[in-house]
Structure 1
Amino acid sequence: MSTHSALRTEPQRHPIGRGWLWIRSGFDIFNKGMGLSVAMLLLWLGVGLLIEQLPTGGFISQLLYMVWMAGWMVVAKGGDEQGRLTFSDLFAGFRHRLTPLMMGGLFALGLFTLIAMLCFGLLSWWGLSDLFSQDPEQLSLTVEQARGVLLCVLLGMLLLVPVLMAVTFAPALIYFHDVGIWQAAKLSFIGCQRNMWPFLWWGLLGCVMLLLGTLLMLIGLLVVLPALNYSIYMAYKDIFLIEQEGEEGIALTGFEA
């Protein structure tokens, strides 16, 4: 596989319509190896389900999250640059930069845990922690209790957004550019922050596609999930990479920057 392009000095900012181009380019990559993409997704999900059966399955799954995502980025890179997908590329993260990628997963797990601890701490402080030990069928909430639970949920979602922004591009940055965990998280956050509107559009379109995929007896998810993974690579390429020396913009497959 060809050498990867250099990083921009600063992540590129794009207009809102770019979110649709990322998704469309993700589907273009999917079309270059539909059967292979579905096979990789089934393997990924199958291994994940097996790991979840272990006593520490949840911890292991989170530890390997960035390792798997780096593999999806390498698969997408092959489809974008060479016009073909390679099954073995899905395991690229296990062969290169494994330790930093696993530490990145641990870093993300730590942030998720802190958010959960803060939310449960607030519930305990407000005397609402006992609600979770009650029978759901007999659970009754007062207006004040419902308001407190809703406030904690909203706070958790609000805190979750910057964490997701920090981990979105971190696997690609760690794998392709040997960037440290903290620097990768920082660059990923800045890249997302500078492209809030296209990512909002990307997220809305992705949610609609996931909903439609679910309604199609889950079969549609076999298409949507790989395509969305590939679209993350296209967004990473568009925001962070310099394709040629002196080039100001980055062209997506079939589009102009």
Structure 2
Amino acid sequence: MSDNNNPYQPPKADVTPPPVPASSMILLPEPRSVAAGSALSWLSDSWPMVKNNLGVWILITIGLFGIQFVLGLVPGLGDVASTLLGPVFTGGILMGARAVAGGEALRFDHLFAGFKEKVAPLLGLGALTLGIMFLFGIIIGGAFVGMNMDTLHGETLKPEDLLNGMNTGLIAIGVILLIFIMMLFWFATQLVALNNVPVFQALTMSFKGCLRNPLPLIFYLLLALLLVIAGAISLLLGLLVVVPWLFASAYVSYRQIFIQ
């Protein structure tokens, strides 16, 4: 008797768990600490999200690049607008990654989803970024105050004159502040866009998440840098794949650290 006609054969059923719906993203009270090797899983787990929707991801990336290019054509105001709107576009793309992870279809209009949801807090993040960048520029500019002005107005400035004239203390402070700023904003957009966390609370939680995971984040940054370099080598066309991959991995890393 064949298995197909065996009345005593146990029934077969698909026991594969369904995709996790976006609504089940329950935030942990505190971010968890993960192993350094998790950086690899952030990339490996996010790659199918990109590969299975590659055409739409490329269109989204082209759209994002195009918007940034147009804004860059406007002197001064274009850079301000790009910084202000950056978290809004990023938030929308992350909502698209959440949709893919939940078994939904990725759509081109996910690029603009941040304007439909959470636009005010995401713009707030952009405004904070702009203000902090301005203050950071002042600090870096202050590093050159100690230069010998006679050298500037006299002989040709040599590289060693530039280094000798710098205020190394301010440079060190600037580097520390830059790391501090990166930690504040690293997960802030995810927290605001995906879990509706208030802006200043998101900054605090992002800092805690980074503080508890320095090794995986450093490892991830190195891997991301290698991917960007590889993408740029291929006449920048590789970036059309690398950029959405990094967006998707940002979503995966956020889920591993902040979501139950």
Fold match by TM threshold 0.5 = yes
**Percent identity of equivalent pairs:** 27
> Residue 189 of structure 1 aligns with which residue?
207
Q: Please, what is the CA RMSD of the aligned residues?
A: 2.3
How far off its partner does 1:50 sit? 0.5
TM-score by length of 1: 0.84
> Residue 117 of structure 1 aligns with which residue?
138
Q: 1:209 aligns with which of 222, 227, 233?
A: 227
> Residue 156 of structure 1 aligns with which residue?
174
SS at match of 1:15: coil
Higher relative contact order (CA 8 A, sep 6+): 1
Unaligned runs of 5+ in 2: 1-20
Give a deviation string over 1:119-149, Cα, whole Å, max 9, x none: 112312x026899999xxx642335x32454
Contact 2:50 2:57 in 1 (8 A): yes
Equivalent residues in 2 for 1:24-43, closer than 5 Å: 24-43=44-63
The 2-side partners of 1:34 and 1:149 are apart by 47
**Amino acid corresponding to residue 19 of structure 1 in structure 2:** A
How far off its partner does 1:2 sit? 3.8
Give a deviation string over 1:51-84, Cα, whole Å, max 9, x none: 1222401111110111011011111111111163
Moved more, 194-203 or 146-155: 146-155
1:51 has 2:71 as partner: yes
TM-score by length of 2: 0.84
Contact 2:147 2:166 in 1 (8 A): no
Q: 1:198 aligns with which of 200, 216, 219?
A: 216
1:63 has 2:84 as partner: yes
1:127 has 2:144 as partner: no
> Residue 163 of structure 2 aligns with which residue?
146
> Residue 235 of structure 1 aligns with which residue?
253
1:19 has 2:39 as partner: yes
Instruction: Specify whether residues 218 and 14 from structure 1 end up closer, same or farther in structure 2 by C-alpha distance, changes over 3 A only.
Output: same
How far off its partner does 1:167 sit? 1.1
Moved more, 223-232 or 113-122: 113-122
- Which 4+ residue blocks in structure 1 deviate beyond 6 angstroms? 128-134
The structure number with the bigger radius of gyration is 2
Contact 1:170 1:184 in 2 (8 A): yes
SS at match of 1:217: coil
**Amino acid corresponding to residue 95 of structure 1 in structure 2:** K
Contact 1:38 1:222 in 2 (8 A): yes
**Amino acid corresponding to residue 181 of structure 2 in structure 1:** V
Contact 1:64 1:105 in 2 (8 A): yes
The 1-side partners of 2:176 and 2:32 are apart by 25
Pairs aligned (count): 237
The 1-side partners of 2:195 and 2:251 are apart by 14
Instruction: Specify whether residues 27 and 240 from structure 1 end up closer, same or farther in structure 2 by C-alpha distance, changes over 3 A only.
Output: same
**Amino acid corresponding to residue 240 of structure 1 in structure 2:** F
The 1-side partners of 2:221 and 2:151 are apart by 32
